[in-house]
Amino acid sequence: EVQLVESGGGLIQPGRSLRLSCAASGFTFGDHAMGWVRQAPGKGLEWVCFIRSKGYGGTTEYAPSVKGRFTISRDDSKSIAYLQMNSLKTEDTAVYYCTRGGGYSDYWGQGTLVTVSS
């Protein structure tokens, strides 16, 4: 059974940094692109970023709203994807979902809440 479990969310002040983790199981992690999608409270879905598998170069794509501030990475030996979030803004407040897939997302984690507030 495919499982994606996010961790690392919490309350953080504007301008600070936070790192989210996504622990994957139930599939060959290294064969798949991984991504992050967020959802602000009461709002719709916003794609954040994804990272391709090493077989496709391990390259990354970012939404304009986070480019230059967020960095996605992966550790295939541990089956974990990371989202390093720097220079956080209040508008980054959202539930962050880890997803499998570089185009459509066929599996989603339960999400971790990030609240950026002073």
Partner 1 sequence: DIVMTQSPDSLAVSLGERATINCKSSHSVLYNSNRKNYLAWYQQKPGQPPKLVIYWASTRESGVPDRFSGSGSGTDFTLTISSLQAEDVAVYYCQQYYDSPWTFGQGTKVEIK
Using CB under 8 A as the binding rule, whether residue 118 contacts partner 1 is answered as no
Of the ranges 7-15, 20-28, 68-76, 96-104, which one interacts with partner 1 (CB under 8 A)?
96-104
- The amino acid occupying position 118 is S
Judged by CB under 8 A, which of 9, 108, 113, 115 binds partner 1?
Answer: 108
Query: Interaction with partner 1 in 59-78: which residues (CB under 8 A)?
Result: 61-64
Judged by CB under 8 A, which of 22, 97, 112, 114 binds partner 1?
Answer: 97
Using CB under 8 A as the binding rule, whether residue 29 contacts partner 1 is answered as no
Give contact residues for partner 1 (rule: CB under 8 A).
37, 44-47, 61-64, 97, 102-111
